[in-house]
Amino acid sequence: MDKIRQIKKQFFLTWLRLKALDFLKLGTDNSIMRMGPYRVSILSFGDFEYLFRHVFWKMEYYFESKNPAPFILDCGSNIGISVLFFKTLFPNSTITAFEPSAGAFACLKANVLQNSLEGVRLHNLALAGQVGELDFFVPPDNPGHLCMSSAAGRTPGGQAQKVAAVTLSPFVDRPVDLIKMDIEGPETQVLAEMEKTGKLNMVSRLIVEYHHHLTPQDDSFSQILTILERNGFGYHIACPPKQPYLPGTFQDIMIWAYKNKEAF
């Protein structure tokens, strides 16, 4: 927990400044923000403030590892706030990051370069259950929107971009300390492919944002939990309250999974 306190102290002034900018409505889009020791190119102030609050302040991606240089697969990196967090948590980590949106990827690349991050490999690719090409829906006024998705209903008003899609298993060439996954839809298919190839057995921890009811009639949440249980993972689940609980209501569900044999 000392590391949590250190990070909170390091980024306290950023938290204070963003609260003030948000309250005064002075945040600007398409700018460069100072975030602790980092210079961060942003596309949307609102999205940046949200990402900072959830990633650096609520620490939704915090994990512990006996490996001082963990290997991390960051699936759905957006503009790179998660990459900066993992590098803050483990400066010697090796990170492979995926982001399908061309606009967000350009910002991600800029944030890696201007902060001189080492050991980070970037891929302008979508992840899916099979190799191919898919439509990826992006709002025309915000190429880094947090609801960009291959599911049209997730991004009202989004314009379809053709993006290359790959499976995750070819990128697992050694033990993986963490997979962080926020890919707006195909989470189950990606993990099913990892299980099929045997690569899921090489993973110690996962942090997955599961997008429930992207299609209101689709109740298949148990599939992803079954995959985790079948492969020896324990897990915690959290979901923000969203009352009233109407049929088919969309929910973001966070899953923190860990290999049982390694956790105790």
27 alpha-carbon distance from chain centroid: 23
Question: DSSP secondary-structure letter at 149?
Answer: B
Q: What is the pLDDT of residues 164-195, one digit of tens each?
A: 999 999 999 999 999 999 998 889 999 999 99
Kindly indicate the confidence band of residue 240, based on its pLDDT and cuts at 50, 70 and 90.
confident
Average pLDDT of span 133-144? 77
> Which carries the bigger pLDDT value, residue 154 or residue 67?
67
Q: Which pLDDT does position 144 carry in this prediction? A: 66
Which pairs from 118-121 meet CB under 8 Å and 24+ separation? 119/92, 119/93, 119/94, 119/95, 120/83, 120/87, 120/94, 120/95, 120/96, 121/95, 121/96, 121/97
CATH number of the 63-263 domain: 3.40.50.150
* Residue 200 φ/ψ, nearest 5 degrees: -65, -25
pLDDT higher than 90, residue 207? yes
Kindly indicate the confidence band of residue 161, based on its pLDDT and cuts at 50, 70 and 90.
confident
Q: Cα dist. 174→70, 93, 192, 200 in Å? A: 11, 14, 19, 11
Q: What is the pLDDT of residues 9-19, one digit of tens each?
A: 999 999 999 99
Q: Cα dist. 91→88, 118, 214 in Å? A: 6, 9, 36
Can you give the pTM of this predicted structure?
Answer: 0.93
pLDDT higher than 80, residue 242? no
Name which of 192, 176, 230, 186 is nearest 210 in CA terms. 186
For the chain, give every domain's residue range: 63-263
Q: Which pLDDT does position 27 carry in this prediction? A: 92
Which residues face 31 on adjacent strands? 42
Kindly indicate the confidence band of residue 155, based on its pLDDT and cuts at 50, 70 and 90.
low
Residues sharing a CB contact under 8 Å with residue 13, sequence separation 6 or more, in sequence order? 36
Name which of 163, 11, 19 is nearest 88 in CA terms. 11
> Which carries the bigger pLDDT value, residue 227 or residue 138?
227
Q: Which pLDDT does position 224 carry in this prediction? A: 96
Burial class (CB in 10 A: 0-12, 13-18, 19+), 264: exposed
Q: What is the pLDDT of residues 32-80, one digit of tens each?
A: 999 999 999 999 999 999 999 999 999 999 999 999 999 999 999 999 9
